[in-house]
Amino acid sequence: MEPAGWVGTCVLLIATIICPRRSTDRAGRCTVSYGWRMRIGRPAPSFALPDQTGTVRTLDELRAGRRAALFFYLNSATPVCVAEVGRFRDAAGEFDRLGVARIGVSMDTAARSAALAAAVSPGFPLLSDVDGGVAETYGVRRGRYSVLPVKRETFVIDTDGTVLHIVVAELRAVAHVEESLAFLRMLAGQAKAR
């Protein structure tokens, strides 16, 4: 292959990683806009997924009438994801004080989620979305040929089941906890001011 061919191949590969849900032309430019995406104010799609123990859990059961921080992480084997789950664990007191359930979702098997739970002891369910169906309904599943299975996003869900806030930070996993808590503190402050 000529050097120009290698460059073109690399450009297409990078474009596929950066915009996996888009089509790319031969120059590597994205040509189609993103598909369906969750938006603030929409109802959070319900689901039933196995947790790290194999028990099937539903969103309504896990929320139990409370708000929830539903976060999608890439997989159990990456240090960044382990740190993200650990940060959600470490912030348990504040989430509990604000009355917010924490729920982690990845495309890992229940066995891999169990291994992560054994290592980190999160104190909340790590759900297994092996086929990516739930990730798809939330608009975070990447394309079939993407290196990374899902986008790292957190959805703050209200007591009525609507999405209140979305945190998108691909490279800063800890930002998901910090931004979610900042938003929830703001809501708590507004409620006290009334």
Tokens of 123: 């104190």
Q: 82 Cβ partners below 8 Å, 6+ apart?
A: 76, 116, 119, 120
Do residue 31 and residue 42 come from a single domain?
no
Question: pLDDT tens digits, the chain, 194 residues: what are they?
Answer: 444 455 444 444 444 444 444 433 344 433 333 345 678 889 999 999 999 999 999 999 999 999 999 999 888 777 788 888 889 999 999 999 999 999 999 998 999 999 989 999 899 999 999 999 999 999 988 877 777 788 889 999 999 999 999 998 877 778 888 999 999 999 888 777 66
Query: What is the pLDDT, as a whole number, of residue 2?
Result: 47
Q: What domain count does the chain have? A: 2
Predicted local distance difference test score (pLDDT) of residue 67: 96
Q: How far is CA 189 from CA 83, 184, 194, in A?
A: 29, 9, 9
What is the C-alpha to C-alpha distance for residues 47 and 133, in angstroms, rounded to an integer? 9
What kind and span of H or E run contains 165? Answer: strand 163-168
| 10: annotated active-site residue | no
What is d(CA 113, CA 105) in angstroms, rounded to the nearest whole number?
9
User: Catalytic residue among 10, 19, 30, 81, which?
Assistant: 81
pLDDT of residue 169: 81
pLDDT of res. 184: 94
Handedness of CA 68, 181, 77, 107 (dihedral sign): positive
Domain that holds residue 142: 36-193
Question: Which pLDDT does position 194 carry in this prediction?
Answer: 65
User: What's the CATH number where 106 sits?
Assistant: 3.40.30.10
* In a shared domain, residues 65 and 146: yes
Residues in the chain: 194
* Residue 140 CB-density burial (10 A; 0-12 exposed, 13-18 middle, 19+ buried): buried
Q: What is the pLDDT of residue 138?
A: 93
- Same domain flag for 12 and 92: no
Residue 51 to residue 99: CA distance in whole angstroms: 21
